[in-house]
Amino acid sequence: MSLIDYEVITLGCYGTLIDKVSGVYGALRPMLDKAATKLRRDDVWAAFRRHELALEVEAPGMPYADILIEVHRRLAKEWYVIASEDDHRFFGLSVPDWPMFADTPAALQYLKRYFKLAILSDIDSETFSGSQRRLGIKFDAIFTAHEIGSYKPNPRSFDYMLEKLGKLGVNKRHILYAADCSSNGHRLAASKGLATACIDRQRETIGRNATLAPIDAACCDFRFASMANLVMAHQEHLRA
């Protein structure tokens, strides 16, 4: 299918629209400065993701801000850093300060002219509200892990989204799921009959020498280096 054949784009947020890697790294700087061993950016990200993913499986009903608090606590223990409860809470509340990718505002404004835009994100509603103010647009639907009761790649995340969009009269054949390549959702989205677009932000955020998360290209209908490239592809499809 062409990009002009879809009615709804369901977007991942953190890692796709918001630079999660830079946000996490910046919020961890106070603890990293205290660590006895200096860690590379990609090693910090790998440690963060290991604890984050484990907690999302262990506690699928936990709000994401609380997930971050516990991740910070575990990282402090792993890196032999003394951190206070205030330090843990500060990290848990850092999400609204995570920066946007430079191309995000213009891409969202453009796509809003042609599609309904939804968010499917491993976040809680209260935390996302801070990011939404930064993003600057009104999404047509927002589906959060806390509302759903599970984190991706639990199938419940996509089942819930499809049920809600179906009640709005949207057929899944007209939904494009677009998220960063490390989101762990593309294969599951494809198994649910959704078209998928991989936004390959990893080189930009982690670094060219980092070990990148694998993505099965066979399960992705489209692959773009950025949201700006998705917009350019849509413009080309319109001209065609």
- Quote the number of domains for the chain: 2
Q: Of 76, 97, 118, which residue sits at a domain end?
A: 97
Query: Given this model, what pLDDT does residue 216 score?
Result: 54
User: Do residues 131 and 167 share a domain?
Assistant: yes
User: Do residues 228 and 168 share a domain?
Assistant: yes
pTM: 0.90
User: Do residues 138 and 191 share a domain?
Assistant: yes
Query: Given this model, what pLDDT does residue 218 score?
Result: 56
CA distances from 116 to 86, 137, 153, 199, 201 (A): 40, 12, 23, 18, 23
User: Do residues 166 and 83 share a domain?
Assistant: no
User: Do residues 151 and 229 share a domain?
Assistant: yes
User: Do residues 175 and 226 share a domain?
Assistant: yes
User: Do residues 44 and 158 share a domain?
Assistant: no
For 157, phi then psi, to 5°, come to -60, -45
User: Do residues 169 and 140 share a domain?
Assistant: yes
Tell me which residue range forms the domain holding 104.
3-19+99-239
Query: Given this model, what pLDDT does residue 212 score?
Result: 46
Extended beta strands in the chain, E state: 8-11, 116-121, 141-144, 175-180, 195-199, 222-224
User: Do residues 15 and 34 share a domain?
Assistant: no
Query: Given this model, what pLDDT does residue 239 score?
Result: 92
Ranges of residues in the chain with a pLDDT under 50 are 208-212
User: Do residues 82 and 154 share a domain?
Assistant: no
232 CB burial (10 A radius; 0-12, 13-18, 19+): middle
Query: Given this model, what pLDDT does residue 183 score?
Result: 64
- CATH number, domain of 67, equals 1.10.150.750
- CATH number, domain of 11, equals 3.40.50.1000
Can you tell me the distance from the alpha carbon of 61 to that of 59, in angstroms, rounded to the nearest whole number? Answer: 5
User: Do residues 195 and 221 share a domain?
Assistant: yes
